[in-house]
Structure 1
Amino acid sequence: MGVLEGMRVVESSAFVAVPSAGMTLAQMGADVIRIDMPGGGMDSGRWPVTRSGRSLFWAGMNKGKRSVSIDLSDPRGRELAAELICAPGPDAGCFITNLPARGEMSFASLRERRADVIMVSLKGTRDGAPAVDYSVNPALGFPTATGPEGSADPVSHVLPAFDLIAGQMITGALLAAERQRLCRGRGQLVELALKDVAAAVLGHCGIIGEVVVNGVDRPKYGNALYGGYGQDFVCGDGRRVMVIGLTVRQWRNLVKVTGSETPIAALAARLGVDLDGEGARFEARDAITAILRPWFAARSVADFAGAFDAAGVTWSVFRSFAEAVREDPDLSTDNPMFHMLDQPGIGRFPVPASPVTFGAGPRDRPTPAPGLGQHTEEVLAELLGLGSGQIGALMDSGVVAGPVPA
């Protein structure tokens, strides 16, 4: 069992941040109960999907959770959801959401039901405007610094980085609030905004200071590693690799295994710099790359891969997603994190468990994502003590729903 065994969290969510937080908690053993609209909400069909239209996104983000279908547009549905959130238990009363929580599901209303309730709420911006990763990213400047050197067009990357960071912050915030409740006996409302998460990252990484203090608006540097040495090279077999010389050790290993000590020393002497310094390597990156480029162009990846690994060079090949799945053992069951899982309606494929291991016990295996409404009857009976007749009446009125047929 996971380290959070016994903890119960109710989730009402869409998109990436809050679902990823709930998944993280579920993978650590918490009982995470998703509240879903009957027939499915915004996430139930989100791409990528299988050829039959089943959402692989849903399957990935909801592993190990339970799904209860409740119509939150109906006051009776919101009342039922509030009862679930505030159901008794010392490790219950935890709610995470990024959806409007009004009326019966507002924090003020929940606190009247359960004084120690914890609610973690994610907004788009601090003033409540909508925002997603793909709007926050351009607003804060990242696309203008991404892409080929010298190009003018902004490049928005495909990774929803701030959503995923926000998801982990929601997880941490919930556990911190739950610890305070354990120590002091009180719950609280915890709020954060996606744009604030991204703005904080901008500050933490020194980019705001770079603009304000140095007056620098960072340009595009292509695949070069900013502030150190890292560059991509096309090899003799047409494959592309990325090599990193960020630390002194990484740098010296790269120079040694490529046999570039003499020309690199001559370059340092000519420029009058110590290339053991990260900044010096970045400033001299074009000259360094000109020395190394012929070495890579004359060799296939197979010619130097073993030597690079033996010498401790930090490097990788460029792959597509499909190439990575086919070629990288870390994306297969060779990696103890991955297990072959049968996801109903989708099939059998490798699925990751939590990347975190705890020394107190073995890592839990991943479990399938639920079908929409799969656990409605189970949860209403278990947590609210409703009988089959009461549940049947709720289903007949459309307030709740059972499993959606495949």
Structure 2
Amino acid sequence: MSEAPPLAGLRVVELSSFVAAPLGGMTLAQLGADVIRVDPVGGGPDIDRWPLAPSGRSLYWAGLNKGKRSVTVDLRSPEGRDLVAGLVKECGVVLTNAPPRDGLTYEALREARPDLIHVQLQGRRDGGNAVDYTVNAAMGFPSVTGPSDQATPVNHALPVWDVACGLYLAIGLLAAERHRLRTGEGQRIRVALQDVALATAGNLGYLAEAQFGEARPRLGNSVFGDFGRDFATADGRVMVVTLTPRHWRDLVEATGLGEVTAALERALDADFRRAGDRYAYREALGGVLAPWFASRTCEQVEDGLTGASVLWSRYRGFAEIARDLRAEPLMARLDQPGVGPHLAPGSPLRLGETSPDPCPAPTLGGHTDEVLRDVLSLPPDQIKELRAQGRIGSL
């Protein structure tokens, strides 16, 4: 008999769209929570967000809602909102980034369920709107991203603040649930995208550095504060990073350039065991090392660095990664309704020896009858009438 997942018994109502809140809910679902995503009839604004499967279904939506149950309700009607409020009352936990609606505000929901855990994603702390892309622009990161001679800001492709915020939402919800188990008290938790980005910039030293008058330079693909950069090979490109004296020693030994770099140390009165010196003279060191990489294929680079502690990787594109997914233990075959079979990731959290396969995302509204029957104890005739009135989605 398999052991129950760690969040078995936790039931969460999720009113969400896009990345952060759905990711927070999926993180909980992958740990065993019963996450009930509630959408408007016909789907929320992210139901057809790109990328799309050949069928036209959103791979984005399917990827961020694995393992949940889906309910569709007419949120514009009082009857529909009453259904959702009833779900929240029964479940006691809500995760949302949806705009407040009559009957679904924190205050209204808490009145019906005093020990409510209400976790809300915001754009800004003051309630203003923001998304990952605007927050990133406001936090200074595009000004240090891109080639060193780039004059204009460069955005990155990864919505990192959404991802970080989604994980903060899950952690905050679990902290509140632990608090309720100890005290019986509910909690209201709000997490703002801009606060997550600001906290990260501060925690990593970017803001303190600026306060002390240092302007972080644009470095292209180089690593700030140590020796790390990309090198062209005979058939591609690799990224190489040294973060410790051992990394550096192993790099110069593997490349056979120990004597050359030692001579460079003497000429510059430097000590390349120190990260600061490796960073200060990164251009000279890169010039010394570049011919070694350029004269070898990526496979030969791998052979030359095997057994060394050097941190390195070949640059790959998504298409190449997709061809090699069968070798990744995180990935498993998933037959997603409306999308078809493909390899998809499970949770990256490994609990002991357990690594469960990914569960499909629900079809939109596919659990509406089931949830209304099992959670709200509504009889079939009432569910049928709600559907006839358009208060819940059609089958």
Note whether the superposition's TM-score is higher than 0.5. yes
2:186 — aligned with what?
187
- Following superposition, the deviation at residue 402 of structure 1 comes to 3.5
Aligned mates of 1:154, 1:47 — CA distance in 2: 25
Matches within 5 A, 1:2-401: 2-87=5-90, 92-213=91-212, 215-237=213-235, 239-327=236-324, 332-359=325-352, 362-401=354-393
After TM superposition, the score normalised by the length of structure 1 is 0.94
- Following superposition, the deviation at residue 285 of structure 1 comes to 0.4
- Following superposition, the deviation at residue 22 of structure 1 comes to 0.5
| 3-state secondary structure, aligned to 2:306 | helix
Tell which deviates more after alignment, 63-72 or 1-10: 1-10
Maintained 8 Å contact 2:250/2:308: yes
After TM superposition, the score normalised by the length of structure 2 is 0.97
- Following superposition, the deviation at residue 306 of structure 1 comes to 2.4
Question: Structure 1 residue runs of 4+, over 6 Å off?
Answer: none
- Following superposition, the deviation at residue 333 of structure 1 comes to 3.6
- Following superposition, the deviation at residue 364 of structure 1 comes to 2.1
Percent identity between matched residues is: 48
Aligned mates of 1:72, 1:373 — CA distance in 2: 13
| 3-state secondary structure, aligned to 1:103 | coil
Maintained 8 Å contact 1:12/1:36: yes
Aligned mates of 2:124, 2:188 — CA distance in 1: 17
Maintained 8 Å contact 2:144/2:217: yes
Q: Flag structure 1 segments of 5+ consecutive residues without an equivalent.
A: none
Give a deviation string over 1:329-375, Cα, whole Å, max 9, x none.
Answer: xxx2433221111111111111111111112x622221100011000
Maintained 8 Å contact 1:253/1:313: yes
Q: Flag structure 2 segments of 5+ consecutive residues without an equivalent.
A: none
Amino acid at match of 1:34: R
Give a deviation string over 1:79-120, Cα, whole Å, max 9, x none.
Answer: 110110111xxxx31110111133211111111111111000
Number of residue equivalences: 392
Maintained 8 Å contact 1:12/1:35: yes
Aligned mates of 1:252, 1:4 — CA distance in 2: 46
Amino acid at match of 1:381: R
Maintained 8 Å contact 1:374/1:402: no
Tell which deviates more after alignment, 101-110 or 350-359: 101-110
- Following superposition, the deviation at residue 52 of structure 1 comes to 2.6
Amino acid at match of 2:333: M
| Superposition RMSD in Å | 1.2
Amino acid at match of 1:186: E
Amino acid at match of 2:210: V
Amino acid at match of 1:193: A
